[in-house]
Amino acid sequence: METSGNTSNAYAAPVWAQKMRAFSNWVNFDFGGGPRPWKAAWVINFQKTGTFVFLGCLMWFYADKTAAATSTAAWIYLAMHGSYGLVWILKDVTFPDPGWQARMTIGGGINAFLFVLGWYWVFGWLLISGTSSPDYPLPDNAWFCLCISLCMLGSVIMIAADAQKYFTPRVKRGLITDGMHKYIRHPNYLGGMMIYGSFALMVWHWLPVLVLAWVWLGLFAVNMHMKEASMSRYPEWAAYKKRSWWLLPFVL
């Protein structure tokens, strides 16, 4: 979110966040040692690109085993999660995130898939296999509308924020404090949380809640704290922090 600055009034991220970042880097990038043949983006893109195919194969496999496989909820979930994966690839091709260009060991790449990315595929399996039999708090059509709307809005917020972070440094130096970042300091994370939150709501099972709690607290919160520490080096940081929200306007 920042593009240049000085180190005056720098703020250190909480110790717990620093330790979690070090542990996460070791697990996902350094585990097992040896060569680093893969970029993080390749592992992520494999999961994102494969989601549509994976979910479609699940629907085909379970089609003669359970009505859940070809239910309206399953088709909507395929459209939401599968299309999001394709949107992610389009975003990565158009304006790739520099942070995902880091190299990782084979062990680290496998860990990244097993401990985070692969669990997102479990969401769809729960719904399509009939393991989860959602009893939504609202009528089905109203619930579907809520989930689709949340997914679409989250996608726009995430893509717009990432695009702003990618293109703004080419024309303006300093913190990005306007556009998607005017009122909240981490709109890309907010968008991602809305997207995956919509998937969890569609599945309506306790397991996605646990997975998202781990990702949001163990990874997203850590990354946001580390980012704030980085942004605090800039002279405009104090004023920006005072007039903006961390993640959600008027709430957090």
Instruction: Sketch the domain layout of the chain as residue ranges.
Output: 15-243
Confidence (pLDDT) at 176:
93
pTM: 0.92
- Burial (CB count <10 Å: 0-12, 13-18, 19+), residue 104: buried
Short-list 137, 142, 139, 127, CA closest to 81: 127
Q: Where are the alpha helices (DSSP H) in the chain?
A: 15-25, 40-62, 72-77, 83-94, 106-112, 118-128, 140-167, 187-203, 206-215, 221-231, 237-243
What is the distance between the alpha carbons of residues 163 and 91, in angstroms, rounded to a whole number? 8
Alpha carbon of residue 63 to chain centroid: 30
Residues facing residue 104 across a β-bridge = 38
Mean per-residue pLDDT pooled into runs of 10, the chain (252 residues): 47 88 95 96 97 98 97 98 96 94 97 95 98 96 98 97 94 91 96 98 98 95 94 91 92 83
Q: What is the rounded CA–CA span in Å between residue 3 and residue 139?
A: 47
Do residues 108 and 32 make contact, with C-beta atoms less than 8 angstroms apart?
A: yes
What pLDDT is stored for residue 9 in this prediction? Answer: 55
